[in-house]
């Protein structure tokens, strides 16, 4: 039954968290909108990763197509500055 899905999923994740650190990742593809416009949807993604997936650490990318290799993401100062405006975020892909 669908009503039991989230509580059962949280039980499963909490069991995993006994031995593991859950990492979440949120990203926005490149687009025409400025970073101000990108902050709200990214913050929503971060909140969902925390609430639904019980992520311990969450990392974000402001401008990155899925096809771009991770090592070349988040290079601009603008991305680094914008990431700091998000709540409950551990960093961007440059921490790895």
| pLDDT (tens digit per residue) in 21-73 | 999 999 888 888 887 888 999 999 999 999 999 999 999 888 777 787 776 67
Look at 81 and 64; give whichever has higher pLDDT: 64
The pair of structure tokens assigned to 1 is 């039954």
Question: Do the domain assignments include residue 18?
Answer: no
User: DSSP 3-state assignment of 71?
Assistant: helix
Q: Is 24 exposed, middle or buried (0-12, 13-18, 19+ CB in 10 A)?
A: buried
Question: Do the domain assignments include residue 8?
Answer: no
pLDDT score at 29: 84
User: DSSP 3-state assignment of 92?
Assistant: strand
Question: Do the domain assignments include residue 27?
Answer: yes
What's the whole-number mean pLDDT along residues 12-22? 96
**How many domains does the chain contain in total?**
1
CA distance 41 to 33: 12
pLDDT score at 11: 95
In angstroms, how far is CA 14 from the centroid of its own chain? 19
- Judged against a pLDDT cut of 60, whether residue 96 lies above it is answered with no
* Residue 43 belongs to domain spanning: 23-95
* Helix or strand (DSSP H, E) at 46: helix 35-51
What's the whole-number mean pLDDT along residues 1-23? 91
Question: Do the domain assignments include residue 29?
Answer: yes
Q: Which residue in the block uniquely carries the two structure tokens 């669908």? A: 2
- Judged against a pLDDT cut of 90, whether residue 8 lies above it is answered with yes
The pair of structure tokens assigned to 87 is 């709540």
Question: Do the domain assignments include residue 13?
Answer: no
């Amino acid at each position: 039954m669908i009503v039991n899905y989230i509580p059962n999923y949280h039980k499963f994740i909490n069991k995993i968290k006994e031995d593991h650190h859950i990492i979440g990742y949120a990203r926005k593809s490149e687009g025409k909108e400025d970073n101000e416009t990108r902050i709200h949807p990214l913050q929503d993604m971060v909140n969902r990763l925390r609430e639904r997936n019980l992520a311990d650490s969450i990392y974000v990318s402001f401008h990155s197509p899925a096809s771009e290799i991770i090592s070349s993401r988040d290079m601009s100062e603008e991305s680094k500055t914008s990431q700091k405006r998000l709540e409950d975020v551990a960093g961007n892909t440059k921490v790895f």
